[in-house]
């Protein structure tokens, strides 16, 4: 019997046709590079990555998120920048990001404070609102990547109204990760 699950909490993003076409253009431009692109149906903003978590801790995590979600109102989200984690000399992740709305900032703060009460350490990373588009294995033409970043400095995509988030189990498979919803949390409801 499995005594742990690989977990993360996230906001699911359902990209529109304009966004999908834009990402497809970037993928085509970088076709010769070794990048593992995220499938459109797997796009999400990670609120907290738990990793391998004992099954016995899952009810506590769910209770924390139900506690904090009631005090957070739905919010609008948009993306306006293309960026990299790593450096332009050694890129690791290609992402699109945006400003963190106040309600989302409150969600992150309350999440971190409340999870520490049930034994999860505070994360040391600063939260960056972003969607991972691709994980870089190898970039031969770093100048092309920089050109694409420069050409996409003025972008804007609306993700719409965010009124829920999810606790997912990530099941790693050879063809890529499969995400299974364990619990849904609707913002602003008692």
Secondary-structure breakdown of the chain: helix, strand, coil percentages, each rounded to the nearest 5: 30, 40, 30
What pLDDT is attached to residue 160? 87
Q: Which tokens hold the place of 184? A: 């849904």
Among all chains, which residue has been given the structure tokens 């505070």?
A: 122
In whole angstroms, give the CA distance from residue 169 to residue 70: 23
In whole angstroms, give the CA distance from residue 78 to residue 98: 6
Q: Evaluate if residue 89 carries a pLDDT over 80.
A: yes
CA atoms in the 13 A half-sphere facing the CB of 171:
6
- Count of domains forming the chain: 1
Q: Are the C-beta atoms of 7 and 170 separated by less than 8 Å?
A: yes
Q: Are the C-beta atoms of 39 and 13 separated by less than 8 Å?
A: no
Mention every residue, 6+ apart, whose C-beta is less than 8 A from residue 164.
11, 12, 184, 185, 186, 187
pLDDT digits (tens, 9 = 90+) for 15-31: 889 999 999 999 999 99
What pLDDT is attached to residue 97? 93
Domain hosting residue 31, numbered range: 4-186
Closest of 8, 9, 4 to residue 104, by C-alpha: 9
CATH (domain of 23): 3.90.1140.10
pLDDT digits (tens, 9 = 90+) for 31-82: 999 999 999 889 999 999 999 999 999 999 999 999 999 989 999 999 999 9
Q: Evaluate if residue 176 carries a pLDDT over 80.
A: no
Alpha helices (H) along the chain: 17-29, 58-69, 102-117, 142-151
What pLDDT is attached to residue 190? 72
What pLDDT is attached to residue 1? 63
| Average pLDDT for the chain | 92
User: Is this prediction's pTM over 0.75?
Assistant: yes
């Amino acid at each position: 019997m499995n005594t742990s699950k690989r977990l993360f909490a996230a906001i699911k993003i359902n990209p529109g046709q304009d966004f999908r076409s834009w990402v497809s253009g970037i993928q085509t431009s970088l076709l010769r590079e070794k990048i593992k692109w995220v499938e459109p149906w797997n796009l999400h903003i990670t609120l907290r990555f738990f990793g391998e978590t004992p099954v016995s801790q899952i009810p506590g995590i769910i209770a924390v998120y139900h506690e904090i979600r009631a005090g957070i109102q739905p919010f609008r989200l948009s993306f306006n920048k293309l960026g990299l984690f790593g450096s332009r000399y050694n890129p690791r992740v290609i992402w699109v990001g945006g400003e963190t709305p106040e309600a989302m900032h409150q969600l992150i703060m309350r999440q971190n404070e409340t999870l520490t009460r049930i034994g999860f350490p505070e994360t040391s990373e600063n939260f960056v609102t972003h969607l991972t588009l691709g994980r870089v294995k190898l970039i031969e033409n770093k100048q092309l990547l920089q050109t694409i970043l420069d050409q996409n400095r003025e972008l804007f995509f609306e993700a719409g109204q965010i009124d829920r988030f999810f606790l997912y189990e990530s099941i790693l498979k050879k063809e890529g990760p499969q995400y299974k919803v364990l619990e849904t949390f609707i913002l602003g409801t008692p």
